[in-house]
Amino acid sequence: MGMTLQGARSRRALFAGSVGNFIEWYEFGVYGSFATIIAARFFTPEGGGAVEGLVKTYASFALAFFFRPVGAALFGALGDRIGRRPVLILVIGLMTVSTALIGALPTYAEIGAFAPWLLTSLRVLQGLSAGGEFGGAVSVMTEFAPAGRRGLYGSWQSFTVALGLLGGAGAAALLASVLSPAQLESWGWRLPFLSALPLGLGALWLRLRLDETPAFRRAGATVRPPARALARAIALGAGRVMGWAAAGYTFLVVLPSYLQNSLHASFRQALVATVLANVGFAAVILPAGWLSDRVGRRPVMLAGAVSVVALAVPLLNLLQDASTSTAVKGVAVCAAGAVVGLMAGPGPAMLAEMFPTSVRCTGLGLAYALSNAVFSGCAGLIITETIKRTGSVDIPAYYAAATCAVSAPALLTLRKPDDENGS
């Protein structure tokens, strides 16, 4: 009976923790898919250039990411002091409201320069909630995980990220297929943002039924590690996931606007490519998390980082070559997503195992948020602006490969998880 009850609590924690990630990344998938439309509606006044508007759109995107560390520090401290459950309830409410409001915003043509400021303010609120979401959700999933299955349970965080990105891109692709371009640009783009409201209410219901984690209840007044040691661990964790962060956003979120603006693909072609990349990503995550429980986090994550370094340029060249068949291009974008999945599967458990219970929410949340703020949030801005200045269409591959090349040495320092820290 006890084992059955524990299994039920573990599964409930898995669903309650992962559903918030789905909503968060669903929105980011939608935002990335509709970046060109959002640029035209909010950041391009009459007479403005399309590329200039896209750069401003990604600047707003990046700003939200820079508020993630603030959210990770704020909500992480709360999660380490008052519990994981109340923080997860708070952040899902904030994420749901701010996402739904984006779908109701007036555009630049309706209220002028106030429109991009309103959009950016809501993106900041999303950044704060997303910063708290990761640390709390991963702590819940890994602290409820059965012995020897932390990698698999943690990988559900990344898997629901993939489902969210896939859902966002899929929703955009569906709307693009059933609506005319004029309808899509006028009001159709709003629908996926508004749908966050019923999704968020469902997530809130699941989290209200969630128990506090056994590890947090046992920790009590556990002594916190020195601030310097915590800062070093956070910096090392950020280095270990920077390749995952940068390559993931390059291949899974920035891809639609890159294909449209640099390779002159149609909107529908770009969305199909993004869906295929996310399918490859999603297919690998859970097996990678499962494998890391058996052979260790290091070999699996290192295989992903090295694969990106070796394959990023050749895969992008296949997309650029007009003579490449559609089927081969589909395989290429699937492969790009799959190699990121090798890092994303074991990544959450790896971060959780770096920090003791007393600072786990704060530590893993900040490591992930800082890395994402710099290397994910800025990916679209860096890539778009660099292509604009240099004219080189290989920039996305160079960016992903360079960050994974830096991540690889940090991943080499990984050892077997410390059982006390991983409790």
Tell me the per-residue pLDDT of 378-396, one tens digit each, with 9 for 90 and over.
777 788 788 888 888 888 8
The pLDDT of residue 256 is above 70 = no
Whose structure tokens read 């309706």?
110
Tell me the per-residue pLDDT of 318-338, one tens digit each, with 9 for 90 and over.
888 878 887 888 888 899 999
Tell me the per-residue pLDDT of 126-148, one tens digit each, with 9 for 90 and over.
889 988 999 999 999 999 888 88
> Which residues are within 8 A (CB) of 286 and not within 5 positions of it... i.e. 6 or more apart?
152, 155, 156, 159, 345
Tell me the per-residue pLDDT of 147-185, one tens digit each, with 9 for 90 and over.
889 999 999 999 988 888 778 878 888 888 898 888 888
Instruction: Map out the domains of the chain as residue ranges.
Output: 2-209+226-412
What does the pLDDT average to over 212-221?
A: 79
Please give the CATH architecture assigned to the domain spanning 2-209+226-412.
Answer: Up-down Bundle (1.20)
The pLDDT of residue 48 is above 60 = no
The pLDDT of residue 21 is above 90 = no
